[in-house]
Structure 1
């Protein structure tokens, strides 16, 4: 049986990579070679495997193998002292692999020198598992993890009052996560290979970057059920109030965070117009492949007679039935040819043959993406060619504008936006379609805030991308209100979005 306990006293464990590193301290014990009861094949192997896995996750690990009762008591006391010395930000982890039993609802860990003839002597020859929790709680550190892989079989099954299988369910205070390798009272497998199914799956899942502990053990549960044919089902319960992550993922930039938030909203809606607008905004973004695949799926669902994916602004005529006409076989073949080759010429051939085809919006997005790559490549070639001396425009020749404020009218740009504030502009309708060929009903007489869900905070986040590295490239991208709005947004960001 394996139990995991995570205690949080109020800190967020998953930290960004540029945050001060947490001190992580671990004690790992593996007992295999027992003197008076049956040995275990994989306990030490599992302890070594988990040691390597958590070391990779930033833990300083003390590994103890085939420990006697004296060894275990001393090591656990030293572990508690190290946590107390480490301070409140220290993360503590205890892992035990070996024999474990329960008696009257209390769980005991067995040292290799444990010998027993009567259940009454159990607390004299074994370690009460709760003593580990008490040592860790005394440190008042923010995060503690206890892993007990200790219910592979009952070595004292012939002793009265020790005939219960597995370990008993343990209670823990608020802010605690408990996970069992199998349900309370059941026996987990030791494994026929070098490691137990649970420990092997856990060592792999710990390495997933950015995965909260709930996801780690969900992945473990799925793998163990599959490997054991459903005989062993890991079980867990949680009263966590903060997130814990073994391996924090890469910190996203402000632009990437804005893209992620927008994509989460778009993906949830599965609206083809929203997906196309997203691809227009991030043609080479983090989610372009996922977005294009979803757009293709949505369109194919519509063609097969599924729920029609109508534009957001479309208002059907009363009693007008939806008619879905499947594309001709030649149209599908031309699209597949273009998607396989990836050539702009093949996509253009599709549009020439089917200007009002079923997949015209998808094809136009692909063409725009390919043209963007061509432009980027051409720009890179030009940038790599030194300009003749004397032709570079001096910085002093570039116009400088006054600071921009949120409630300040714009002084340049199309007549539709001159004299209006940023707040007023985002409630206007675009001056031209955000995506070439987008139906008028999807953008005309509709405010941009309908799609982007703009607020002052999200606008500030977007504006900040224009002053970061690569901001000049973002400024060059066409905008339905013209480039002047982006330039004013940049000035506003430079003025701390006042």
Structure 2
């Protein structure tokens, strides 16, 4: 039985005040099934998942899927009316959006080329909706996953009314909205309600840049990042969450998409009761991942470009390189050339490790699980969590073998019957020659050699220690947990 989490949205000023429970409303819109322009695979999936997430956080939610101009305008007008009396209002929009003359427009599913001649009626301008919400709600948040390519032919012009001059449409999705004005201190913004605490406009990509789509049956990179971090970050400051979302998209897209935020909040904003962090290795990976994202958000652009270049040249994830850079800390070379050489050397080592892991197979379910977690931790830049997983006790060494292409002799034992090796196994005792000669004359009990022959007392022949015929592993092809179980020499 599921219970919706209560909304705990604390608007905390610089001086510590007691947080209070507030009312939040959310409208989630997904536009996938366009009739005259390119269809989009993700918005419908994104909208349903985002609506469920806000519902769990305690918002009063409504979802609108594939709305034409009349229905979309009616949904937004109804939401503005319903938002009166709320403390926080959120609009999430996923679909086509365009920018012309500094004004952003949401594109209904029935829009065609003729809509550009009367955009004021056939498209939905975003600025007017934000302005109306700002007058009624203390905090307004708009999240726009609408920065796709211009769905209309190149060179077309947009007219608010049929009689006015046309304006060129931006080629790279939405632009920075002019409706958000930075607030200074605690002074109310000009033209806003006296009790307004500001606004947040989050874009899936930087102004003039294009956002990417995700897999057809999944979510866009921006929606996936929102679901991963807002849903699991109850009780975390909202600005920190937005920075995590931005860096998550940046890493998952290999630097091709970087979300952008225009915000004017005058107080810290928190959502939801603290969520329960996943236990075990998954929780450690996620927690370390979030710390890495916050660190990346503070890095200057030149250092970002350096990491992007090295990752692209080496064919390794940027996440891991950023984690290596974070691990260096104060020991990081100040000279850019030395840092570049160091990171490129680590990149080559990382490629070798990833290639070796790809060749290892096992039938043991625990080893399969831990290997998958270790690989995930490395890919996510959670190097400390990866090392902890490597240091955990593992099952038998035999289950970590590289599969051989040579036919197995029928006389060999199966893998599961191989004996366990111990790093603490006793070493063979070595005696000086005088003592060894004396021992030869001492009576000894009957014993058998490896091939089953009997060794008589007083014989100078020593039985050889029993050794497994299947110790054919290579150190270079074994993960860390297998190497720890080899006998010491």
TM-score interval, smaller chain: 0.3 to 0.5
Structure with greater contact order relative to length (CA < 8 Å, sep ≥ 6): 1
Query: What TM-score comes out, normalization by structure 1 length?
Result: 0.45
Please give the TM-score of this superposition, normalised by the length of structure 2. 0.46
